[in-house]
Amino acid sequence: MAQAKTTFEQFYNKSWRFFCSIRLTVVTLAVLLAGCLVGMFHDQTLTYEAHREQWAGAAWKLYLYTFLELNDVFHSWWFGFFVLVLALNLIACSIERLPKIWLDVHNPQFKLPGPRYKSLKHRVCVQVPDEVSGRRLMSQYFKSVEPLKAPFVGADDPNVYFFREKHRYGRVGVYVIHIALLMIMFGSIVTTNWGIDGMMMIPEGESRRFVQARGPGGLAASFDLGFDVQCNDFRLKTFTDGAPLDFESDLLIYERGQSGPVLQKTIEVNDPLEYKGYTFYQSSYAPRSGEQLVKLSIGRHGSERLTYTLPIGSSTTLADGTQFTPVELIENYGGLGPAARVQKIAPNGEATHFNVFRFYPEFDPQVRRGQYDVLFLGFDRLYATGISVGKVPYLPIVLAGFVLMFIGMYMAFFMNHRRYWGRLMSLPNGTWEAAVVGVAKRHPYQFEDEFQKFRAISETFLREVSNNEGMHA
């Protein structure tokens, strides 16, 4: 009499069947698909506070919105929960089915029972005069399947058996996909909890070590990099009309306890800096409040000039004591574009004022024609560079998962596992029966074409044997 199962065994069996269920897979994928659609079409860039203002009209709506974390779906607790359920479902299904398939792949049945040669759909059966002819015919059969591989041959008096299979590892392709999905899901969970996707604004000449990013629940959070990132200089390149053309930043990395930078690089759009798994992208900039800087090129008339970057009201003194001071910036002087008003103080104390124009660099040398030529190269101001900071831990595992997935898809969809069994059996009338049967996991019509080829080989072979017998007679 069978012993009754304990409560724990019953619970274990039900739980195991639950996680091995295809229904669970379908439901889980449906929930994840719904979450992806919500994340795609519902704005995920706003902060929780901004969303709360939109949903503050109804308390129950705000509660449901907050509970489901719809402002940050892909980092929500329920999305992560169903990803974990899908992972457990894949693991359970693989443990349930893979060992049996693996044993069958590596321990195939080389000889079929006699009735199976008549019951299988795909088969060819012909009579040959002797065993030698039968072996030659079997050799032609299996060479058409695998030209470079000899089939297994086994004797069981008085019969001779043959076996060959193709793409035997195609049966495990779906489980390779399972492993790839688990690697990708593991990488996504790690990225969700330990990855960083944030911003840091660094004023010129200053350093920062904290990244502003989205924390749990979509709330703003600061992450300590553990090292300092300094912007040594920011350069904004513009068109002649002042529209931004390009911008770049000179970044330096400082570690605690070290006097000099451990790494420095000029970054620009699509050319980031990478350090300790972090990637620093040039993404934006913002002008700082404060005084503007004027770029003047000054030199003796007709001689080489030097460039000076001066704040409004600051002076530069040349070797002979002459001082030049930019006193005012004019955005559009009489329709001639940007201009700077400059004060010149000669060594004897005589002060004069004149204008120089950004779009007419030769105005001062050709019109004013003073002792010194002054060119207005433009104005500058201090900026804060916007750096996008990203960190994707275990990224190689995720990439390997995608590569493995494509390999598994190729194995599952393009490697059609096929098995062929052959038998030479002695008949009472002295002739031999050559029979070949086969089983394919997919593409039965293509498999039937192979057996049509076997039938054509049989007809050609029997004609040759008949002709040879006629010549000997």
Question: Residue 176's pLDDT band (boundaries 50, 70, 90)?
Answer: very high
Residue 269's pLDDT is what?
86
Question: What's the pLDDT at 1?
Answer: 45
Does the structure show a pLDDT above 70 at 55? no
- What's the mean pLDDT in 35-54? 76
In CATH terms, the fold of domain 109-167+416-472 is Double Stranded RNA Binding Domain (3.30.160)
In whole angstroms, what is the distance from residue 277 CA to residue 393 CA? 7
Residue 216: the pLDDT is: 59
Output phi, psi for 346, to 5 deg.
-70, 165
Cα separation, 338 vs 241, whole angstroms = 10
More confident residue, 241 or 136: 136
Backbone angles phi and psi of 309, in degrees to 5? -110, 110
pLDDT of residue 56: 63
**Which of 27-36, 155-164, 199-208, 320-329 is predicted with the least confidence, judged by mean pLDDT?**
155-164
Span 273-292, mean pLDDT?
Answer: 84
* d(C-alpha 114, C-alpha 151), whole Å: 19
Nearest to 233 by CA among 389, 382, 379: 382
For position 230, what pLDDT does the model report?
Answer: 94
pLDDT tens-digit map of 259-270 = 889 999 999 888
Provide the percentage of residues in the chain whose pLDDT is more than 90.
Answer: 28
pLDDT at residue number 4: 58
Residue type, 444: P
The whole-number average pLDDT for the span 303-308 is 89
Contact present, 356 and 333 (Cβ < 8 Å): no
C-alpha Rg value of the chain to the nearest Å: 40
Please answer whether residues 209 and 224 qualify as being in contact, where contact means their C-beta atoms are separated by less than 8 angstroms: yes
Whether the pLDDT of residue 387 is over 90: the answer is yes
Q: Output the average pLDDT for the chain.
A: 85
pLDDT at residue 409 above 70?
Answer: yes
DSSP 418-467: EEEEEEEEE-TTS-EEEEEEEEESS-HHHHHHHHHHHHHHHHHHHHHHHH
Q: Residue 416's closest CA among 434, 435, 439?
A: 439
Print burial letters for 336-349: b (CB count within 10 Å at least 16), e (below 16): ebbbbbbbbbeeee
DSSP designation for 371: S
The domains of the chain are located at 7-104, 109-167+416-472, 181-288+384-404, 289-382
Distance from C-alpha of 427 to C-alpha of 130, rounded to nearest angstrom: 10
Mean pLDDT score, 140-154: 78
Tell me the per-residue pLDDT of 65-88, one tens digit each, with 9 for 90 and over. Answer: 888 888 778 878 888 889 899 999
**pLDDT at 256 > cutoff 70:** yes
Q: What is the pLDDT of residue 201?
A: 92
Question: Does 242 score more than 70 pLDDT?
Answer: no
Q: Average pLDDT, stretch 96-124?
A: 87
Could you give the 3-state DSSP secondary structure of residue 314? coil
